[in-house]
Amino acid sequence: METVQQSSSNTETSPSTSAAPCPCTPATGPAPIPRIETGTIGLLFRDLLFSAVAAILIIAFLYQPVRVEGTSMLPRLEDSDRLFINKFVYRFAAIERGDVVVFRYPRNPETSYIKRVIALPGDRLRIDRGRVWVNGKPQRERYVPEQYRDSRSMAEIVVPEGAYFMMGDHRSISSDSREFGPVERSLIYGKAVFVYWPAKDAGVVR
């Protein structure tokens, strides 16, 4: 509540005159409390409701919730993690190395896989005892902990145009492009964005 300061002064009077009331005498009683009109509350509630509905529609249109099955993307993604994938990002942006994407399994389009993009169309790729080389350069894969590496090797290939080489972060157990080959662009339909459940795993997918 607002505080109003008051001040007073002494007024001298002569014996022959009576003291007149000071025109500055403050009014008695509590200060009025500002009121919010019911119409204002209704407008505020309407705006909040509209914003919430718009946010839900945007999320539903742009993002799709999916559930992870398996452990080939440990340590970032665990079995039964729930996450959002962006269904439209690759309509406006290019797929890049390091992206975690969702695609239809080339040998059975009814099944979806989630893996990391390791090499792009036209890249020269080889694997030497677990170390990945792209275009003659060894890759620094910080997302693959030492305990999840393996010692598999693969002769050099050139990734075909319109296809991408995928691998899981848990290299020792992942079924990926080392087995079923590069994935065609038409099979890729989303980018992993954010884990929302369980709370301990919540966060951006990198």
Statement: residue 15 has pLDDT above 50: no
pLDDT score of 47: 76
Statement: residue 14 has pLDDT above 70: no
Which pair of tokens denotes residue 52?
């919430």
pLDDT, tens digit, 9 for 90 and up, residues 29-40 = 555 655 545 567
pLDDT score of 32: 62
Q: What is the mean pLDDT of residues 18-44?
A: 57
SS3 content of the chain, % helix, strand, coil (to 5): 20, 30, 50
pLDDT, tens digit, 9 for 90 and up, residues 141-179 = 999 999 999 999 999 999 999 999 999 999 999 999 999
**Interstrand relation of 82-86 and 154-158 (parallel, antiparallel or unpaired):** unpaired
pLDDT score of 41: 79
Statement: residue 122 has pLDDT above 70: yes
Average per-residue pLDDT for the chain: 84
Statement: residue 98 has pLDDT above 70: yes
Statement: residue 87 has pLDDT above 50: yes
Confidence band, pLDDT 50/70/90 cuts, at residue 48: confident
Q: Which residues contact 50 (CB under 8 A, 6 or more apart)?
A: none
Statement: residue 22 has pLDDT above 60: no
Q: Is the backbone peptide bond immediately before 75 cis, with ω within 30 degrees of 0?
A: yes
Q: What is the mean pLDDT of residues 98-127?
A: 97
pLDDT score of 46: 79
User: Are residues 143 and 206 in contact, defined by beta-carbon separation less than 8 angstroms?
Assistant: yes
pLDDT score of 33: 55
Q: What is the mean pLDDT of residues 186-203?
A: 96
pLDDT greater at residue 180 or residue 61 = 180
Residues with a catalytic annotation lie at 72, 115
Q: Which residues contact 125 (CB under 8 A, 6 or more apart)?
A: 118, 119, 132, 133, 134, 154, 156, 157, 158, 159, 165
- Does the pTM of the predicted model rise above 0.85? no
Q: Which helix or strand (DSSP H or E) is residue 157 part of? A: strand 154-158
CATH pick for 65-204 out of 2.10.109.10, 3.40.50.300, 2.40.50.140, 1.10.10.10: 2.10.109.10
